[in-house]
Amino acid sequence: MPRGARAAAQATPEQQRGLLCQLARQAETIAAGDHVGFFTLDEAMHRELLRIAGHPMVWELIVSAKAQLDRVRYLSLEDGNWLAMIFRQHQDIADRIAAGDAEGAEQAMQAHLRTVFGAIDRIAATHAAFFEHATVFNRNRRARNGTDLALVRSRRCRGAAEIRQAGATGIVTALYHIPYGVVWSTDEIARRKGIIEADPNLGLRWSVVESLPVAEPIKLGEGEPGPLFENYRISLRNLAALGVTTVCYNFMPVLDWTRTQLAAPLPGGGTALRFNAHEYAAFDCFILQRQGAEAEQSPDVLRRAHAWLQSASESDRDRLLNNIMAGLPGAYDRYDVPGLRRMLDRYGDIDHATLRANLACFCAPCTGGGGSRGSPVHPSR
C-alpha cells in the first residue's frame, strides 16, 4: 500500500491531532515570514507521515540522498505564493488522513511530491547561475530539453562579478553533488572550472578544493580500504591534471563542522554562521543524549542549555536539529537523531589513537605525489 494510503488507514486519533498541530505551527511560521522554520516543519511532517505509515527507517535513507533537492526547496520558499500552495497541499493531505480517505490521501501526497519538479524548472529559470549541465549525477531530474541539471554550490555568492568586485581572484569550491568515495572525473572537474572561468574579463580561477571528502569507512577503518584509496588517488590526479593543486580534506568523525545558526543576523543587515555553545549542549546532552556528553560541559553551559531547552518550542528544537545536521554547504550525508546515534555507535570503539592510526593509514597511500603539494595536517576543535 502506498505511503499516503497507508497513513490514512493507520493514523490514530492522536496522530491525526498531531498533524493538525503541525499545520497550525506551519501557519505561524508563514505569518512570521520564517522560511527556515517552515522548512524545518515541512521536514518534520514528512518524517511523521512515514512513521504513521509504518516506515520510520525510510526517512534516514531519504535524508542521506536529498541534499541537492533541499537546496531547490529552500530557494522555492522565497516565493510567498509558492509557500502558500505548499501549505494548502499539506492541509489537503492532513484532512484526507483525518477522514480516513486512503485513496484521496495518496492522490494528495503524489500531487504534493510532484510539485518539486515545477520548483526545479522555476528555480533553474530564475537562478541560472546555480545550475550546470551534468551527465553523471543521475539522481537529478531530467529537464524538458533532455539535459540533466545539477545544482552548483560554490562560493558564487550573488554571481562571479560580485566576487571579483570584492577583490577575489581565487575560488574555493568542491563537487558537492558527488557522493563520498566516488571518483571526481576530469569531465566533472572541467565543467566546474568552466563555470568559474566563463568570463575571462573577471580573471577568476578555481584555486582551492574544500573539500575532497574522505569516506566514512576510511575513518572507521572498516572493510577493505583499497578501492576507496584508489578512487581518492584518481580524483587527486584528475584535479592536478587540470591545474587544481591545493586540496583540503577533513578527517572528523561523522560531521565535519557544526553550527547552531545558519543565518545569524549581523548589524549591517547580512547574516553569518554562528555557534552557540549552550544550544549545542542542549542538543548533544538532552536531545541526542550522547553518553558522557554532560561530563564534557561546564556547569554554566549546562545551566544555560537547560534554560534554553525549557523555553524552546518544538519548532526551535526542530530547527536546531536541522542546522546541526546541515553542516556547511555541500554536506552530503545527513542524519536524523536515531540515525546519528547509530552512526556514533559505529565509533564506539574508536579512540584518539585508533582514529590517528586510521588517518596515517589514509595519508600514506592517498596524499602527496601526482602533482599535489603534500598533506599538512592541523587539529581542529
The domain spans of the chain are 3-126, 129-254+350-366, 261-326
pLDDT at 306: 96
pLDDT at 117: 62
Bridge partners for 208 per DSSP:
172
Mean pLDDT, residues 244-266:
85
Per-range mean pLDDT, top range of 62-71, 96-105, 107-116: 96-105
User: How many other C-beta atoms can be found within 10 angstroms of the C-beta atom of residue 234?
Assistant: 15
CATH number of the structural domain 129-254+350-366: 3.20.20.150
Calculate the average pLDDT of the chain. Answer: 78
How many Cα atoms occupy the beta-carbon half-sphere of 73 within 13 Å? Answer: 20
Per-range mean pLDDT, top range of 65-79, 264-278, 319-333, 361-375: 264-278
Residues 6+ apart with CB under 8 A from 218: 225, 228, 229, 358, 361, 362
Closest residue by Cα to residue 50 from 117, 89, 97, 107: 97
Residue 107 predicted with pLDDT over 60: yes
Q: How confident is the model at residue 286 (pLDDT cuts 50, 70, 90)?
A: very high
pLDDT at 289: 95
User: How many other C-beta atoms can be found within 10 angstroms of the C-beta atom of residue 196?
Assistant: 20
Q: Are 30 and 123 in contact (CB under 8 A)?
A: no
Mean pLDDT, residues 213-237:
92
- State the Cα torsion 142-146-150-156 to the nearest 10°: -140
Bridge partners for 206 per DSSP:
171
Separation CA 104–CA 108 (nearest Å): 6
User: How many other C-beta atoms can be found within 10 angstroms of the C-beta atom of residue 195?
Assistant: 18
| Higher-scoring residue by pLDDT: 18, 72 | 18
What top-level class would CATH report for the domain 3-126? mainly alpha
pLDDT at 151: 35
Distance set, CA 350 to CA 123, 252, 358 (Å): 43, 12, 10
Supply φ then ψ for residue 335, to 5 degrees: -135, 150
| Higher-scoring residue by pLDDT: 67, 14 | 14
Separation CA 269–CA 196 (nearest Å): 28
Residue 221: left (phi > 0), alpha (psi -120 to 50), or beta?
left
